[in-house]
Amino acid sequence: MPFENEWVAVTLLAALQAGIRSALDAVEARWEARGDPLTLPSPVTWHRGAEPVIFELEAVDFPYVAIQVPRRAPVEGSGSDQPGFGEQTIEVWIDSMLVDDTVEIVNSLSLRYAEALTALLAENWNVAGYEQVDQEPTFDQSVVYVHGETLQSDMQRPAQVKMMQGSRIIQRLRG
């Protein structure tokens, strides 16, 4: 099987960009019906691949969503002991980074973004000829960071900081 990591990332990024607003709207509606409404802003910054970034609030527009496809491995017993044959498992990472003035809101934003992105994954079961492994994706959430609006921000002054939280959804594809 050819090396398709980048093509998987390109294809999945396009699908997420096309569907994110409706997925965020569905999550908003579900939480409004539960009595806990929160507006989920559309992603402002999209990125494909790994990139060293200093998340300086002055330099990065949030919400930030990144797609990485960092791992590929042969599926045992699928003829993968010969180059170019057999099935492969590709791991996809979908990272999001959100900011807000309060810990409570940024935590809810992060969790609800993950809810929307997971729903989009479920809608896009086949990505560039690879099918998702039949399981729920893995979800990890960072701690909440106090984040300066600029590199010179006084971290002790609430007016100069925001709360920032990231999350990662990991899904394996097989093909």
Instruction: Give the domain extent around 159.
Output: 5-78+85-174
> What pLDDT shows up at residue 81?
57
Task: Summarize the confidence of residues 159-167 as an average pLDDT.
Answer: 84
Count of structural domains, the chain? 1
Strands 126-127 and 145-148: unpaired
CA distance linking residue 31 with residue 89, whole number of Å: 35
CA distance linking residue 76 with residue 73, whole number of Å: 9
Residue 80 pLDDT exceeds 60: no
> What pLDDT shows up at residue 37?
97
> What pLDDT shows up at residue 21?
97
> What pLDDT shows up at residue 2?
63
The rounded Cα 69 to chain-centroid distance in angstroms is 12
Q: What is the pLDDT of residues 6-65, one digit of tens each?
A: 999 999 999 999 999 999 999 999 999 999 999 999 999 898 886 655 555 555 678 889
CA distance linking residue 38 with residue 25, whole number of Å: 10
> What pLDDT shows up at residue 64?
87
Task: Summarize the confidence of residues 110-118 as an average pLDDT.
Answer: 96
> What pLDDT shows up at residue 147?
72
> What pLDDT shows up at residue 36?
97
